[in-house]
Amino acid sequence: MINFNYETEFSLKDEKVISNWILDTISEEGYKLEEINYVFCNDEYLHKLNVEFLNHDTLTDIISFDYSVGKLIQGDIFISVERVEDNAKDFSVPFKEELHRVIIHGILHYCGYKDKSDSEAKLMREKENHYLEQLV
């Protein structure tokens, strides 16, 4: 089950399409879905989580809490819509594209991909691009 929750005025216009895309991604990566909760929020909301749970006093676009066991995906993904808007402007891409990239980025972490080293980040970006192409 994929749940979309909103702690801000923003809401996805195409929840069903996005849900199917996420499910297809999880399946293609060889995993199964248990439950994912997306929470769309603002910078302030996500900053509080970042400080409280990760001891990071910075703004970020996404925080994910992974409760997966083996190949069974489960977790909570918090996304700051404000950060995504700013990043879209900084990267000169449409908001929707950046939002979709962040949405799938969290899922790819649950599928075992990391992005700490340059080589890991390169592979993560390749995977993001691959799945972004799948979203029509």
CATH value at residue 57: 3.40.390.30
Q: How many domains does the chain have?
A: 1
Mean pLDDT of the 97-111 span: 95
pLDDT, tens only, 28-46: 999 999 999 999 999 999 9
3 neighbors 38 (Cβ within 8 angstroms): yes
The DSSP symbol for 116 reads S
Average pLDDT, the chain: 94
**Residue 105 assigned ligand-binding role:** yes
* Percent of the chain residues topping a pLDDT of 90: 86
At 95, the pLDDT band (50, 70, 90 cuts) reads very high
Q: What is the pLDDT of residue 47?
A: 92
Q: What are phi and psi of 15, to 5 degrees?
A: -55, -40
Other C-beta atoms within 10 Å of 128: how many? Answer: 20
For 63, half-sphere exposure in the C-beta direction (CA atoms, 13 angstrom radius) is 21
Confidence of residue 50 (pLDDT cuts 50, 70, 90): confident
Closest CA to 97 of 124, 128, 76, 52: 128
Structural domain boundaries, residue 63: 2-134
Question: Is pLDDT of 118 > 70?
Answer: yes
Q: Is 76 labelled as part of a ligand binding site?
A: no
Q: Tell me: is residue 100 an annotated ligand-binding position.
A: no
Q: Which residue from 57, 63, 56 is spatially nearest to 102, judged by alpha carbons?
A: 63
Percent of the chain past pLDDT 70, that is, above it, reads 99
| Residue 67: closest CA among 43, 41, 34 | 34
**Distance separating alpha carbons of residues 64 and 125, to the nearest angstrom:** 17
Quick one: CA dihedral 61, 97, 125, 88, positive or negative?
A: negative
